[in-house]
C-alpha cells in the first residue's frame, strides 16, 4: 500500500543544496556504488534520485536501482551483484513487506554485507526499538527527518561501512585463494603451465579478467623472456622475448630496474626475486586501480610464488637427474647389443603415442592415467635392461638359439624387473623406475597366459607392459637383427593383427591399427 500521511509529501526538505559535493566523475573504468531504492511510491523514487544525483564517494558515482515491492527488490538483490545499500520502505504490498525483505536478505540470500536502511512514513507500524533489535538492519529513519543533507550523510556512512566489510570479505576470500592456489601451483611441473596457473590465481585474487603477462629474467642478464600470457595478451605467447615496444614494457622494465612491485594503473607489475637468482615480473591490468588490501594480498601471494618457483626448479633438476639415470641404464643395455640400433628410442616414441591413442579411445580409463601417459615413453626404454646379465655368446649370437640358450635369454625379463624394482623402492611414490620394472618384467607375457616369466594373463599384465609388448615386437619385425632381415610393413602389421587376443592385448592392437590407418608411416624408419 502507498503511504498516505500528509507528512510524506515533504519528507525530503532541501536544507542547503549548495553544501552538496560537486559532481566528480570517477575514471571511466571505475565501478559505481550500487544503491537499491525500495518503495511503492513513484514520487519517493523520483525525489531520492534527484537528491542523490550529484553524490559520489571516493571518486565513484552512484548507480541507482528501483523496486516497487518487496518481491521485486528480492529478485533484484538475488540477480545483481555488489549492491552496497538498500533504502527500504516498510509498508508496501503488505504492512511488513520491508521487514520481511530485510530478513530474507540475510537468511535466504546470505548477504551480510549489504547495508539496509529502513525509511518509513508510518513509524507506528514498525517501532524503531523493536525493529532494530529483531531485524538485522543498519539504520532506521522516519521520512519526515530525512533532509537532503541527512540523506547524503546516511548514504555516505552506509557506503563507507559497506566498503570496509567488503574489503574484509575480499581479504578472507583472497587469503583462501592464496592458500588453495599455492597448493595447486606446487602440482604443476611445466614452467609454462606453472606460469599460466600463477596468472590465473592472481586474476582470481583480484576478482578481475585473466589479462596478464609473466616474464622471467635469469640473473642480471637483462634478457626478459615471456613465459606465459593470458587474455588479451595471449599473442605474446608467440614471442620469446618481451617486445620493447609493448605498452606494458616500461612498467615491467621499471620493476626489474628498481627490484620492487609497481602499481601504476592501468599497468600493475608484481616483482618476485627467487633464491635461484631468477627475477619474475607479473603484469596485470585490472579495469580499476587496486585497493591497498589487494596490493597487500598480492605481495603475500608473491612470497608463495617465489618459493614455488624455487621448488619447481629443484623438481626440474631432480627430474632431469632421474631421466638421465634411466637413459644411462638403457644405453648400457644397448651398448652390448649393438645390433638393436635405435630400437629403444623408437620404442620410446611409439609407446608414448600408443598410450595416448588408447586414452583418446577411452580404453582402460582406470589404467591409462595421466601419470602413465607422462612416464611410459621414457620408462619403455628400460624394457631390455635385464640383458646386461645375458652372456655375450648368447646375446650376440647371429643364428637361432638352442632351447637352453633361449631359456637363458628369457631370464632377462626377471633380471630387469628385479634390478629396477630394487631401484624404484629407493624412491617414494611412482617413478619412471616403477613403470620400467613393470615393463621389463611383463613385456614378454602373453594375453592368453602363454608368455614368460610368470605366465600372467590378460589384465593381470600391467598396462604399460601390454603396450610395450606390442611396440617391441612391431619395431623388431620392421628392422634388421643379427638373426633376421626386416619384414615388409604390411606383413608386420598383419602379424600384430593376427596375434591380437593371443600374444597381445586386443585393445592395444586396435589402437595401433587405428594409428596406422590414420598414418600409414607409423613404425617406418624415415629414409
Q: What is the CATH number of the domain that holds 277?
A: 3.30.450.40
Alpha-carbon distances, residue 510 vs 121, 182, 463, 488, 516 (angstroms):
80, 42, 14, 20, 10
CB of 215 closer than 8 Å to CB of 284:
no
CB half-sphere exposure, 390, CA atoms < 13 A: 28
Considering the domain architecture, whether residues 288 and 371 belong to the same structural domain is answered as: no
Considering the domain architecture, whether residues 90 and 199 belong to the same structural domain is answered as: no
Looking at every residue in the chain, the average pLDDT score rounds to 81
- The mean per-residue pLDDT over the stretch 356-372 comes to 94
pLDDT score at 517: 93
Considering the domain architecture, whether residues 225 and 153 belong to the same structural domain is answered as: no
CA distance 222 to 227: 15
Helix/strand/coil (H/E/C) assignment for every residue in 57-112:
ECCEEEEEEEECCHHHHHHHHHHCCCEEEEEEECCCCCCCHHHHHHHHHHHCCCCC
pLDDT band at 23 (very low <50, low <70, confident <90, very high): very low
Alpha-carbon distances, residue 79 vs 1, 72, 75, 86 (angstroms):
25, 11, 6, 14
Considering the domain architecture, whether residues 369 and 477 belong to the same structural domain is answered as: yes
DSSP state of 500: B
- The mean per-residue pLDDT over the stretch 258-273 comes to 87
Between 462 and 309, the higher pLDDT residue? 462
pLDDT score at 198: 74
**Residue 24 resides in a domain:** no
DSSP state of 273: E
Between 280 and 66, the higher pLDDT residue? 66
- The mean per-residue pLDDT over the stretch 284-297 comes to 78
User: CATH number, domain at 464?
Assistant: 1.10.3210.10
Considering the domain architecture, whether residues 125 and 271 belong to the same structural domain is answered as: no
CA distance 213 to 343: 42
Question: Of 141-155, 209-223, 358-372, which one has max mean pLDDT?
Answer: 358-372
pLDDT band at 431 (very low <50, low <70, confident <90, very high): confident
CB half-sphere exposure, 488, CA atoms < 13 A: 3
- The mean per-residue pLDDT over the stretch 65-75 comes to 95
Considering the domain architecture, whether residues 366 and 503 belong to the same structural domain is answered as: yes
If DSSP codes are grouped into helix, strand and coil, which group holds residue 216? strand
pLDDT score at 489: 92
CA 325 to chain centre: 32
pLDDT band at 527 (very low <50, low <70, confident <90, very high): very low
**Residue 463 resides in a domain:** yes
Considering the domain architecture, whether residues 212 and 140 belong to the same structural domain is answered as: no
pLDDT band at 469 (very low <50, low <70, confident <90, very high): very high
Residue 68: count other Cβ atoms within 10 Å of its Cβ: 18
Domain end marker among 125, 141, 169: 169
Range of the domain at 283: 189-313
Predicted TM-score (pTM) of this structure: 0.50
- The mean per-residue pLDDT over the stretch 380-402 comes to 80
Q: 331-351 in b/e burial notation, b at 16+ Cβ within 10 A?
A: eebbeebeebeebbbbbbebb
Whether 11 shows a pLDDT value over 60: the answer reads no
Q: Which residue has the cell 582470481?
A: 204
Total structural domains within the chain: 3
**Residue 327 resides in a domain:** no
CA distance 217 to 9: 68
- The mean per-residue pLDDT over the stretch 371-392 comes to 86
Give all strands of the β-sheet with 83-89 in edge-to-edge order: 56-57, 60-67, 33-38, 83-89, 115-120, 139-142
Q: Which residue has the cell 610368470?
A: 454
User: CATH number, domain at 83?
Assistant: 3.40.50.2300
pLDDT score at 504: 97
Residue % of the chain over a pLDDT of 90? 37
pLDDT in tens, 145-183: 778 888 999 999 999 999 888 777 766 665 565 556 555
Whether 298 shows a pLDDT value over 90: the answer reads no
Element (H, E) at 267: strand 267-273
Grid coordinates belonging to 173 = 576470500
**Residue 479 resides in a domain:** yes
- The mean per-residue pLDDT over the stretch 417-443 comes to 89
Considering the domain architecture, whether residues 48 and 126 belong to the same structural domain is answered as: yes
Report the residue count for the chain: 527
pLDDT band at 26 (very low <50, low <70, confident <90, very high): very low
- The mean per-residue pLDDT over the stretch 224-242 comes to 84
As beta bridge partners, residue 62 has: 33
| Least confident window among 2-11, 35-44, 265-274, 436-445 | 2-11
Q: What's the sign of the alpha-carbon dihedral 406, 408, 412, 417?
A: positive
Q: Which residue has the cell 605481495?
A: 299
Q: Point out the residues that are catalytic.
A: 387
pLDDT score at 354: 96
pLDDT score at 7: 40
- Return all residues near 323 (Cβ < 8 A) that are at least 6 apart: 378, 432
Considering the domain architecture, whether residues 129 and 205 belong to the same structural domain is answered as: no
DSSP state of 481: B
pLDDT score at 27: 36
pLDDT score at 222: 74
Whether 3 shows a pLDDT value over 50: the answer reads no
pLDDT score at 182: 54
pLDDT score at 6: 38
Considering the domain architecture, whether residues 154 and 266 belong to the same structural domain is answered as: no
pLDDT score at 184: 55
CB of 65 closer than 8 Å to CB of 94:
no
Grid coordinates belonging to 50 = 534527484
Residue % of the chain over a pLDDT of 70? 83
Amino acid at each position: 500500500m502507498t503511504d498516505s500521511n500528509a507528512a510524506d509529501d515533504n519528507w525530503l526538505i532541501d536544507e542547503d543544496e549548495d553544501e552538496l559535493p560537486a559532481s566528480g566523475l570517477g575514471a571511466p573504468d571505475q565501478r559505481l556504488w550500487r544503491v537499491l531504492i525500495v518503495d511503492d511510491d513513484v514520487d519517493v523514487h523520483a525525489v531520492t534520485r534527484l537528491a542523490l544525483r550529484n553524490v559520489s564517494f571516493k571518486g565513484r558515482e552512484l548507480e541507482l536501482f528501483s523496486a516497487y515491492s518487496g518481491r521485486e527488490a528480492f529478485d533484484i538483490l538475488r540477480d545483481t551483484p555488489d549492491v552496497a545499500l538498500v533504502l527500504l520502505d516498510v509498508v508496501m504490498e503488505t504492512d511488513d513487506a520491508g521487514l520481511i525483505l530485510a530478513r530474507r536478505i540475510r537468511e535466504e540470500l546470505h548477504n551480510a554485507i549489504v547495508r539496509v536502511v529502513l525509511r518509513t512514513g508510518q513509524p507506528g507500524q514498525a517501532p524503531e526499538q523493536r525493529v532494530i533489535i529483531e531485524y538485522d538492519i543498519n539504520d532506521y529513519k522516519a521520512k519526515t527527518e530525512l533532509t537532503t543533507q541527512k540523506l547524503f550523510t546516511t548514504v555516505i556512512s552506509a557506503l563507507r561501512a559497506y566498503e570496509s566489510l567488503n574489503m574484509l570479505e575480499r581479504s578472507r576470500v583472497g587469503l583462501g585463494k592464496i592458500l588453495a592456489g599455492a597448493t595447486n601451483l606446487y602440482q604443476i611441473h611445466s614452467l609454462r603451465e606453472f606460469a599460466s596457473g600463477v596468472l590465473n590465481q592472481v586474476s582470481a585474487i583480484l576478482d578481475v579478467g585473466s589479462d596478464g603477462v609473466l616474464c622471467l629474467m635469469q640473473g642480471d642478464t637483462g634478457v626478459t623472456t615471456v613465459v606465459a600470457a593470458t587474455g588479451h595478451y595471449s599473442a605474446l605467447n608467440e614471442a620469446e622475448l618481451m617486445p620493447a615496444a609493448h605498452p606494458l614494457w616500461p612498467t615491467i622494465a621499471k620493476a626489474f630496474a628498481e627490484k620492487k612491485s609497481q602499481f601504476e594503473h592501468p599497468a600493475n607489475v608484481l616483482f618476485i626475486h627467487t633464491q635461484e637468482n631468477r627475477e619474475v615480473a607479473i603484469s596485470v591490468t585490472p579495469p580499476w586501480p587496486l585497493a591497498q588490501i589487494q596490493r597487500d594480498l598480492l605481495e603475500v601471494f608473491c612470497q608463495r610464488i617465489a618459493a614455488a618457483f624455487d621448488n619447481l626448479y629443484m623438481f626440474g633438476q631432480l627430474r632431469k637427474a632421474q631421466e638421465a639415470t634411466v637413459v644411462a641404464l638403457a644405453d648400457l643395455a644397448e651398448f652390448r647389443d649393438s645390433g638393436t640400433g635405435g630400437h629403444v628410442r623408437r620404442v620410446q616414441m611409439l609407446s608414448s603415442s600408443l598410450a595416448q591413442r588408447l586414452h583418446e579411445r577411452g580404453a582402460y580409463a582406470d589404467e591409462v592415467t595421466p601419470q602413465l601417459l607422462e612416464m611410459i615413453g621414457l620408462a619403455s626404454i628400460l624394457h631390455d635392461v635385464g640383458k646386461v646379465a645375458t652372456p655375450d655368446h648368447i646375446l650376440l649370437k647371429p643364428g637361432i638359439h638352442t632351447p637352453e640358450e633361449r631359456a637363458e635369454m628369457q631370464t632377462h625379463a626377471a633380471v630387469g624387473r628385479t634390478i629396477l624394482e630394487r631401484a624404484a623402492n629407493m624412491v617414494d611414490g611412482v617413478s619412471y623406475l616403477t613403470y620400467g620394472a613393470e615393463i621389463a618384467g611383463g613385456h614378454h607375457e602373453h594375453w592368453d597366459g602363454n608368455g614368460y616369466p610368470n605366465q600372467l594373463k590378460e589384465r593381470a599384465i600391467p598396462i604399460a607392459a601390454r603396450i610395450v609388448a606390442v611396440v617391441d615386437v612391431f619395431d623388431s619385425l620392421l628392422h634388421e637383427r643379427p638373426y633376421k632381415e626386416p619384414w615388409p610393413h604390411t606383413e608386420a602389421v598383419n602379424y600384430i593383427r593376427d596375434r591380437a587376443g593371443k600374444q597381445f592385448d586386443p585393445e592395444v592392437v586396435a589402437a595401433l591399427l587405428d594409428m596406422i590407418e590414420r598414418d600409414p608411416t607409423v613404425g617406418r624408419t624415415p629414409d
